[in-house]
Amino acid sequence: NSKLRHVEKDVLIPQIMRERAKELCSDKVQAFTKCCQETGLLMVVKCRQENTALKDCLVGYYSDPLFYEECKTEYLKQREEYKATGIKKKRQKLTSNV
C-alpha cells in the first residue's frame, strides 16, 4: 500500500529530502560553515556568496520532482521494512573525509 498520509507527504518525506540535499550539497555547506567560523559577527555581510550558493543548491533539490520521487521511494522502502520487521532503520549519514 503506497498511499501516503498527510504527515508522510508534508513532514517525513521532506525531512528525507532535507537530509539528502544537505549531503549532496555538502561542499557548499562546508564552505558556508567555514566562512561563518572565520568571520564571526560579520558573517551576514561577508558570507553572502557562500550562503547564496548553498541556498541555490538546496532549493534546486527541494523543487526537483524527480528528487521528491526518489525520496518518496526511499521512504516507502523504509516504511515497508519497518512494517515487516518492527525495527526502525536509522538513515546512514554520508561522512566526508575532511
Residue with cell 498520509: 5
How many angstroms separate the CA atoms of 14 and 12, rounded?
6
pLDDT < 70 stretches in the chain: 1-2, 89-98
What integer pLDDT is reported at residue 92 of this predicted model?
52
Phi (first) and psi of residue 88, to 5 degrees: -80, 125
Neighbours of 62 (CB within 10 A): 13
- Supply the pTM of this predicted model: 0.76
What integer pLDDT is reported at residue 97 of this predicted model?
43
What integer pLDDT is reported at residue 43 of this predicted model?
84
Cβ atoms of residues 30 and 54 within 8 Å: no
What integer pLDDT is reported at residue 47 of this predicted model?
95
What integer pLDDT is reported at residue 91 of this predicted model?
55
- Residue 71: Cβ-neighbour burial (10 angstroms; 0-12, 13-18, 19+): buried
